[in-house]
Amino acid sequence: MNNSRLTIAQYVDGLASGDRIVLSKAITLAESNLPNDQILAGQLIEQIMPRTGNSIRIGITGVPGVGKSTFIEAFGNTLSDDGKKIAVLTIDPSSQLTKGSILGDKTRMQSLSKNPNVYIRPTASGNILGGIANRTREAMLLCEAAGFDVIIVETVGVGQSEVSVRNMVDFFLLLMLAGAGDELQGIKKGIMEMADAIVITKADGDNIQHATKAQADFQHALHLFPARSSGWSPVVSTSSSIENKGIAEVWKLIKKFQTKTSESGFFEQQRSEQNVQWFKEYFQQLLVLDFQRNEFLQNAMAKLSVSVREKLTSPYSAAQQLLAEYHKLIRES
């Protein structure tokens, strides 16, 4: 076992006392794909589950340059003034692929990172088939166990990570630029449909008029979407992070959402559904990892890959054969 690992009791106690070093270590443990780490992480998550769920979970997305980090700085400081403890988990889909980062974490959110009520942590993102599982959900639960009241999960609005983030948060916020046209912003209609609120950023100086116009346009566009099962009608507002305008209003809106959907029962219902989703996703991850660790199956896969490359076997038939090998293995075990 890795020497930097603690015992379960040390993790649990450290989290209970809000120890950030222990929290960071626990998230690193949850992100590890080493079999021993996964067993430990599984036990840890199991133990802390009763202490989770007490935060409001907010997803924030938008294209690079829309003003996410500047918004989160202003928003985080507003929440901190409201007496909240905030954890910010950032997911950067680019970092695995290019080793570069769209989010450029080193220079981001500098004032927020000095706020004692705030904890900021980039979390691993990636595809389980590529070997790296997304463990943001586990990171979120660990932050809750460490006593954070608000969890912000930030993602770049360019990839598939939005859907998985939408499936783990209570409230999903989409940041948009005025006057850029939604195609230009690379935002798919599907992402707008997932949003509980849209905030038009940089509503200051010469841009105020554009922002107000965009607000009306987006509000109109949202009316054309079918009604939500939540009973909540998504709201469009404007903000200026540098002038600290429209930021407290977003927080008020989120609190209103929480009250309304708690009363209607939707809040809990959504979390229950998300738990079912989590169970299914995690099971798939376990299956894939199990598969990847099996030498016999890896060899079979390598051989079939050669066959496919040499056009001796079709990809379809190779996949079926590999599945058959897997089934055979299960029957024999």
Q: Tell me which residues touch ligand GDP (CB under 6 A).
A: 62, 64-70, 201-202, 204, 240-242
Residue 225 contacts by C-beta under 8 Å, 6 or more apart in sequence?
Answer: 192, 193
Cβ-based nearer residue to ligand GDP, 218 or 266? 218
Torsion 207-213-217-222 (CA) sign: positive
- Tell me the residue type at 168: M
Cβ-contact 121, 90 below 8 angstroms: yes
Q: Which is nearer to ligand GDP, 204 or 217 (CB)?
A: 204
CB of 207 to ligand GDP, least distance (A): 7
When the beta carbons of 42 and 64 are compared against ligand GDP, the nearer one is 64
Enumerate the β-bridge partners of residue 86.
118, 150
Q: For the CB of residue 264, give the shortest distance to ligand GDP in the complex, in Å.
A: 32
Residue 98 CB, shortest distance to ligand GDP, in Å, is: 16
Q: How far is the CB of 91 from ligand GDP (least distance, A)?
A: 13
DSSP-derived 3-state class of residue 108: coil
Residue 160 burial (10 A CB sphere; 0-12, 13-18, 19+): exposed
Q: Rounded to the nearest whole angstrom, what is the least distance from the CB of residue 168 to ligand GDP in the complex?
A: 20
List the one residue out of 299, 304, 302 whose CA is nearest residue 321: 304
Quote the least distance from Cβ 193 to ligand GDP, whole Å: 21
Q: Residue 121 or residue 202: which is nearer to ligand GDP going by CB?
A: 202
> Angle at Cα 233 formed by Cα 203 and Cα 235, nearest 5°?
5
Beta pairing partners, 151: 57, 87
Cβ contact 1:129 at 8 Å: no
Tell me how far apart the alpha carbons of residues 291 and 77 are, in angstroms, rounded to a whole number.
45
Report the candidate in 170, 79, 69, 160 with the shortest Cα–Cα distance to residue 122: 69
Of 46, 36, 35, nearest to 290 by C-alpha is 35
CB 144 within 8 Å of CB 52: yes
Closest CB to ligand GDP among residues 55, 70: 70
Closer residue to ligand GDP in complex, CB, 79/109? 109
CB of 162 to ligand GDP, least distance (A): 14
Nearer to ligand GDP, 80 or 244 (CB): 244
Torsion of CA 36, 38, 40, 45, to 10 degrees: 180
Measuring CA to CA, which residue among 232, 226, 236 is closest to residue 267?
232
Nearer to ligand GDP, 115 or 240 (CB): 240
Q: In whole angstroms, how close is the CB of 107 to ligand GDP at the nearest point?
A: 9
CB of 88 to ligand GDP, least distance (A): 12
CB 136 within 8 A of CB 153: yes
Measured from the CB atom, the residue of 11 and 218 that comes closer to ligand GDP is: 218
